[in-house]
Chains A and B, each alone.
Chain A
């Protein structure tokens, strides 16, 4: 496997609003993701993890101010991007109920990105994309409301993969799903990553999911990356930062003694 970084984030700063009311959503965040690996961004709501993902995807609102360097396989990623560059980076959203057009058939949902990027033999690609996510061709003519949550998320993944990206950005891809369905989707993502040598950046609040999926992760809090570690360190319980340890403890369930009440002003 190629060991060069697929994604590099250096000194990323994102702010919304201006002057005294400005809000710095991301502060001086840096990390890099090895090609073919999966990298987790972990944090709680408001930690800036989704904003980092949106910056990578080129989906920040135009009013956001942005500093720092983002690179994809060495090439600089600017907010304004060519179609060819957009094709190499795709995003899968959290909510499969909100991310599919309710009045488009699966066929149209999958065909549209292929057409936008000027690909040929769209029929063949659509059937292949469905097969990739474990759905048979009859699904082409269904509407999203005729699908379960897990099937919808499979369609969202197929839509991202149909244009053959190099990097897939996953924003909480299973947090809206039941655990049994989550297991199927996580297995599917891992298989696709191996088959197509994809690089993943996975945003999640769930350390167990990140530990299962990723080789390394960054823990974010209040816009800052507080710690970047390998998953081995996470599994071996050698996290350094107090906040990361707190997250890890929280992931292991309730303990009446350990959960004592640090005054939480949130």
Chain B
């Protein structure tokens, strides 16, 4: 079998925000190597999971700083890359899907125009060609009437439909890495599974990698190949997804235990005791 270099190498990633009350470290010493796989990053609010994803794209708020020993995407040193080089990667080879299509689609542009615009930034193609590609992609995300949705405005779409459009828009330039930050949290549960199946299908077809950021341990465990568990800016445990049940770290075990279960007995849920030693 051919050995491929890893797509993404993250070594010693640290994200700091300068605030009036001094620097706040949101992510500290995060390390991982990503191949062509589905990697989940799980944690509660404030764990640093979203900032990790944003740091990879260079999309931190203005007071944020990224430092790392190494941060490289397919041979490109992201720490040294200039703004132009990063912009070429962003949306082209690395794409991001955000939580709520209601806020991430431009409300004053039709769906089709947005997809075409995003595509033409990254590929030197005619409007006609871009339109055809956009229509084909809308069909690929199982939208029944691509022509109708192409001409629709974002407010005319349901949440599930909007998120399909987002996926289509991100997949048109055929990225190698997709970063999805809570891509299905705003969707109803039955729609959620359809959107995930679609994402799974698109990734497999293109051989692209995924970083799936979520608070939902069960969902990530059932969808991804590997899971990083983050707590207070640190990765406390890395697991193969099918080994989630045999997690070692007390935080991971606590998170798993405190979730109510459909087949539970209704007795009090164990609550999570946070140990200051986890922060060392």
- Once the chains bind, are A251 and B262 in contact (CB under 8 Å)? yes
CB–CB A179/B215 < 8 A: yes
Which positions 1-48 of chain A face chain B at CB distance < 8 Å?
A: 44-45
A179 is contacted by which of B160, B192, B194, B259 (Cβ under 8 Å)? Answer: B259
**Complex contact A266–B223 (CB within 8 A):** no
Report Cα–Cα, A135/B142, bound state, in Å.
Answer: 50
B268 to chain A: which residues have CB within 8 Å? Answer: 187, 190
Contact, CB under 8 Å: B261 / A211:
yes
Q: Determine if B44 is an interface residue (Cβ-Cβ < 8 Å).
A: yes
The answer, yes or no, to whether B271 is at the interface (CB within 8 Å) is yes
Q: Please determine whether A180 and B262 come into contact, CB atoms closer than 8 angstroms.
A: no
Q: How far is the CB of A80 from chain B (nearest CB, A)?
A: 34
B264 contacts A254, CB within 8 Å?
no
Complex CA distance for A67 and B193, rounded to whole angstroms: 36
Give Cα distance in the complex from A249 to B194, angstroms. Answer: 12
Find out whether the CB atom of B188 lies under 8 angstroms from the CB atom of A178: no
Residue-wise interface mask of B (245-280) relative to A, using a CB-CB cutoff of 8 A (1 in contact, 0 not): 000000000110011111110101111100000000
* Set of chain A residues within 8 Å of B272, measured between Cβ atoms: 180, 183
Q: Does B45 contact A (CB under 8 A)?
A: yes
Q: For residues 221 through 266 of chain A, which have their beta carbon under 8 Å from a beta carbon of chain B? A: 231, 234-235, 246-256, 259-266
Instruction: Assess whether B258 is in contact with A254, with CB atoms less than 8 Å apart.
Output: no
One digit per residue, 1 when the CB lies within 8 angstroms of any chain B CB and 0 when it does not, for chain A 161-195 equals 00000000000000000111011101100100000
Q: Is the CB of A266 within 8 A of B160?
A: yes
Expressed in whole angstroms, the Cα–Cα distance for A184 and B192 within the complex equals 26
Binds B, one of A52-60, A81-89, A101-109, A202-210: A202-210
How many residues from A make CB contacts under 8 Å with B?
42
Known A180-B44, A263-B142, A265-B144: A250·B189 in contact at CB below 8 Å? yes
Contact call B160/A186, Cβ cutoff below 8 A = no
Q: Is the interface of A mostly helix, strand, loop or mixed?
A: helix
Q: Which residues of A contact B258 (CB under 8 A)?
A: 179-180, 182-183
* Interface check B161, CB cutoff 8 A: yes
Whether A253 contacts B221 by the Cβ 8 Å rule is yes
User: Which of A186, A249, A253, A256 is close to B269, meaning CB atoms less than 8 Å apart?
Assistant: A186
Which residues of chain B come closer than 8 Å to A263, judged between CB atoms?
142, 144
For residue B123, CB closer than 8 A to chain A, the reply is no
Is A250 touching B219 in the complex (CB atoms < 8 A)?
A: no
Contact A183 B264 (CB under 8 A): no
Count of residues in B whose CB is under 8 Å from the partner chain: 41
A207 touches B269 (CB 8 A): no
Is B200 close to A, CB under 8 A?
A: yes
Known contacts: A180-B272, A183-B269, A247-B189. The answer to whether A234 contacts B223 by CB under 8 A is: no
Q: Which residues of B contact A266 (CB under 8 A)?
A: 158, 160-161, 191
Chain A CB within 10 Å — which of B44, B192, B255, B260 has the most?
B260
Complex interface residues of chain B between 190 and 231 (CB less than 8 A to chain A): 190-194, 196-198, 200, 215, 217-219, 221-223
B260 in contact with A211 (CB, 8 Å)? yes
Report the separation of the CA atoms of residues A180 and B44 in the bound assembly, to the nearest whole angstrom. Answer: 8
Q: How far is the CA of A249 from the CA of B271 in the complex (A)?
A: 26
Minimum CB distance partner of B192 in chain A: A250
Q: Cα distance A251–B271 when bound, in Å?
A: 21
Instruction: Name the residue in A179, A234, A259 with the highest tally of chain B Cβ atoms < 10 Å from its Cβ.
Output: A179
Nearest Cβ on chain B to A174's Cβ, whole angstroms: 9
Interface residues of B in 173-187 (CB under 8 A from A): none
Closest B residue to A47 using CB positions: B188
Query: Can you show 6 pairs from A to B with CB atoms below 8 A apart?
Result: A179-B215, A180-B44, A183-B260, A183-B271, A206-B260, A213-B260
Ranked 4 nearest A-B pairs via Cβ: A253-B222, A212-B260, A44-B188, A183-B258
- Give A contacts to B, CB under 8 Å: 44-45, 149, 178-180, 182-184, 186-187, 190, 205-209, 211-213, 231, 234-235, 246-256, 259-266
Binding site for A on B (CB under 8 A): 44-45, 142, 144, 158-161, 188-194, 196-198, 200, 215, 217-219, 221-223, 254-255, 258-264, 266, 268-272
